[in-house]
Every structure is written in structure tokens, then in C-alpha cells.
Amino acid sequence: MPSTKQACDALVRRVGYDPGRTKEVARALTEADMLPSGSPGVSPQLTPQDVATLMLGVALDVPLRAVADTVSEYRALRRGGVPE
């Protein structure tokens, strides 16, 4: 599993995301406990679900302060529409 830095680097290189924005979104999602945080000297390992969360966060066209809330809203959507 990739570290947060490796995932950010891959998204920048393969998808073409802005490096600065990608790093800041990763930080914001980590601070919101949506991505795992490491411990001193140990990088967190991301699951495929975590990488998808990061990718969604970077793809959103919202201010940085709104990324975590907007990702949560998107992740809450259900196939078949929103229940009534």
C-alpha cells in the first residue's frame, strides 16, 4: 500500500493534478480524520479506499476549507439516488 506522499506523487504524475493542491488536500483530509495519519517517523499507509478519497478531494472544485465536508457529502451518496 502506498504512503500518502507516494499516492500524491502518483496522482500528480499520472492524472496531472497540481502538486501544491494535492499536498494541501491530503493535509486537510488527514486533519479531518478522513485519511490515516502516521506517527513520528512512520508514514501512513493508504488503502485503495483512502486513495479514492484523496483523488475525489483533489478533483473537487471547492475551496480548500470545504474539501473535507464536500468529500463527506459525495461519499454519502448512494447508488440509485438519495433516499427520500
Evaluate if pTM is beyond 0.75.
Answer: yes
Identity of the residue numbered 81: G
Q: Provide the pLDDT for residue 64.
A: 96
Q: Where are the domains of the chain?
A: 4-76
CA distance 5 to 50: 13
CA distance 84 to 71: 21
The torsion defined by the Cα of 34, 39, 41 and 45, in degrees rounded to 10, comes to -40
* pLDDT mean for each 10 residues of the chain (84 residues): 94 96 97 93 91 96 97 85 57
Q: Provide the pLDDT for residue 76.
A: 87
Q: Provide the pLDDT for residue 81.
A: 60
Q: Provide the pLDDT for residue 38.
A: 85
CA distance 48 to 52: 6
- Give the number of other Cβ atoms within 10 Å of residue 83's Cβ: 5
